[in-house]
Amino acid sequence: MTDDLERRLRSPWVGSQPPPVESIYSMAPRRRPAHRPTGMRIIAAAATIALLGIAAVVVRDAPSEEIVVAASPSTTEPTRSTPAPDVDSGARVDIGRSTRSEHLLDYQVREHAVRDEAGNWVVFVGLHNPTTSPVEVMVHGATAVLRGTTGDCPASPAIASDPDPGDPTTNCTWTSPVMSGATGSVLDRFITIHPDLTTWIPLPIRADDWVGSAVIHGQLLWRSDTGDWWKGSVIVIERVPLPSAVSPDRGGG
Amino acid sequence: MIVPERPRLEGAQQDDDGFASWYVEVWPRLVGFLLVQTRDRQEAEDLAAETMARSLARWGTGDVERPTAWAFTVAMNLSRRSFRRQVRDRAAAQRWATRDWVAEPDVRDPDLLVALAGLPRRQRLAVGLFYLADLTQAEVARSMGISPGTAAALLHQARTRLRRQLGGEP
């Protein structure tokens, strides 16, 4: 009997077929390099992340220095934004590596954005943590591709395409970084989203003189208490007016 | 609007390091282990996938000497949380009173699983770690945070109880 029990215990108790290993790769945290410093890890991550995040910002004329995007109320106000009415309750965003509810955050974009001291437009993305545990997130590798619809194309080494650089009515496209660090934003470093609170993350866009539309590339990353981190969702901001009062006269090639 | 997007699969590296073959080999044992702990097939497979994802994150980093043992320890910890959640879950409590959870065609030995699931939780864990993860008694003790003597006693008690329960089986 002992032998029989031992045999039964040692054989697999079920014959479950595993799901494709791709599903594990898709939900796994990024591999932690054995002894690579954090900076190297972030640089390595950026190359991959640059391929993923995409956010769209439609820029158009507006009467004031405000960018209007879909928004919803907050519990933590960004310091330099204008109070806005509720427009959209926002979507729930999966920032984790599975569909488990504890890895979800509620996402919203503030209706009004502001100019910072350097003249950049700052869009605020609010992340609300509905769980009972703090999570750490980062908006990483963000860039904005601006598409002009009026005025001139800005003088920028990052111009991606401009079919007629001297034509003030032409369409043109250029890429601008969504900046980090220098403007005091919290991009590119992890911030803690505490339970049942909304934290606003500023996204400063170098679109000072620009009138048109933009696509922003960015990615949410999530870090667990073990230090592992995962790629999360892509942000899409759909409509943001820029003021017509600012003349797009710095461009022209 | 945020568009969820999964990380890209880096296909070329999928089994350069042996993870995929290890994954295929260990998966059924891990699911069996977790099934006995949770009595919930979906939960068991979810936790197994979670365990595998964590294993992949450590794979090849040099952090883990024995990946199978490490994975089962992770699974054990995950199942503890699951157990606490199930205690609060009436539906889960009802499942414990039935054999529905072993009514899957790939469950090879339902009587054994029912008997295992009837063991006290620490005995269940010890048996799973010892027989499925192939840990030594000392390793079982270390994984469970108990003394080697206690681990040996748990295994002995579990075997005695299983023999008694399965004694009439062919």
Q: How many Å apart are CA A163 and CA A181, to the nearest integer?
A: 33
**A112-115/A67-68 β-pairing:** antiparallel
Tens-digit pLDDT profile for residues B25-41: 999 999 999 988 888 88
Strands B2-3 vs A229-235: parallel, antiparallel or unpaired: antiparallel
Mean pLDDT, range B1-20, rounded to an integer: 46
Instruction: Give the gap in angstroms from C-alpha A13 to the nearest C-alpha of chain B.
Output: 5
* A94 near B CB under 8 A: yes
DSSP letters for A48-98: HHTTT--EEEE----SSS-EE------SS--TTPPP--------EEE-SSS
Q: How confident is the model at residue A173 (pLDDT cuts 50, 70, 90)?
A: low
pLDDT of residue A186: 45
Nearest CA in chain A to B126: A9
Greater model confidence, A101 or A27: A27
Mean predicted confidence (pLDDT) in A98-113: 48
Q: Bigger pLDDT: A75 or B84? A: B84
> Residue B44: pLDDT band by 50, 70, 90 thresholds?
confident
CB nearest to B57's CB, from A32, A93, A238: A32
pLDDT, one tens digit per residue, over A4-36 is 888 889 888 888 788 877 777 766 554 433 333
Contact at 8 Å (CB) between A132 and A195? yes
Q: Point out the least confidently predicted range of A77-86, A116-125, A192-201, B7-16.
A: A77-86
Whole-number pLDDT of residue A92 = 33
CA distance A84 to chain B (A): 18
Residue that the structure tokens 């994984």 belong to: B143
Distance between CA atoms of residues A198 and A73, nearest Å: 9
The answer to whether the CB atoms of A234 and B62 lie below 8 A apart is no
Does residue B39 come out as left (phi exceeding 0), alpha (psi in the -120 to 50 range) or beta? Answer: left
- Whether A137 and A128 have beta carbons less than 8 Å apart is answered as no
Q: What is the DSSP string of A228-247?
A: -EEEEEEE---B----TTS-
Q: Is the pLDDT score of A147 beyond 70?
A: no
Give the distance from residue A160's alpha carbon to the nearest chain B alpha carbon, in angstroms: 25
A159 SS3 class: strand
Checking if the pLDDT of B155 tops 90, the result is yes
pLDDT band at A217 (very low <50, low <70, confident <90, very high): low
Q: Which helix (H) or strand (E) holds A44?
A: helix A38-49
DSSP state of A167: -
Q: Tell me, letter by letter, the H, E, C secondary structure of chain B.
A: CEECCCCCCCHHHCCCCCHHHHHHHHHHHHHHHHHHHHCCHHHHHHHHHHHHHHHHHHCCCCCCCCHHHHHHHHHHHHHHHHHHHHHCCHHHHHHCCCCHHHCCCCECCHHHHHHHHCCCHHHHHHHHHHHHCCCCHHHHHHHHCCCHHHHHHHHHHHHHHHHHHHCCCC
Establish, for the pair of chains A and B, how many residue pairs have beta carbons separated by less than 8 Å: 159
CB atoms within 10 A of CB A179: 23
Report chain A's terminal Cα–Cα distance, integer Å.
87
Q: Nearest CA to CA, how far is A42 from chain B (Å)?
A: 15
A 9-28 → B contacts, CB under 8 A:
9-19, 21-28
SS3 state at A101:
helix
**Which of A14, A48, A228 shows the shortest C-beta gap to B107?**
A14
- Contact between chains at A9 and B36 (C-beta distance less than 8 A): no
Nearest residue in chain A measured CA to CA from B109:
A13
d(C-alpha A88, C-alpha B80), whole Å: 39
The SS3 of residue A187 is coil
Q: Which of A85-89, A223-227, B21-25 has the lowest mean pLDDT?
A: A85-89
Instruction: Give A-chain residues touching B63 at CB under 8 angstroms.
Output: 32, 34
Looking at CA atoms only, how far is residue B28 from chain A in angstroms?
Answer: 5
Q: What is the pLDDT of residues B55-93, one digit of tens each?
A: 888 887 777 778 888 899 888 888 877 666 665 555 655
pLDDT in tens, A221-236: 666 555 655 555 555 5
Name the more confident of A156 and B47: B47
The b-or-e profile of A110-144 (16+ CB within 10 A means b, else e) is: bbbbbbbeeebbbbbbbbbbeeeeebbbbbbbbbb
What is the average per-residue pLDDT within A105-113?
55
Q: Measured between CB atoms, which of A18, A27, A238 is closest to B1? A: A238
Question: Can you give the pLDDT at residue B77?
Answer: 84
Contacts of A233 (CB under 8 A, 6+ apart): A93, A94, A95, A107, A219, A220, B2, B3, B4, B5
Average of pLDDT values for B98-104? 75
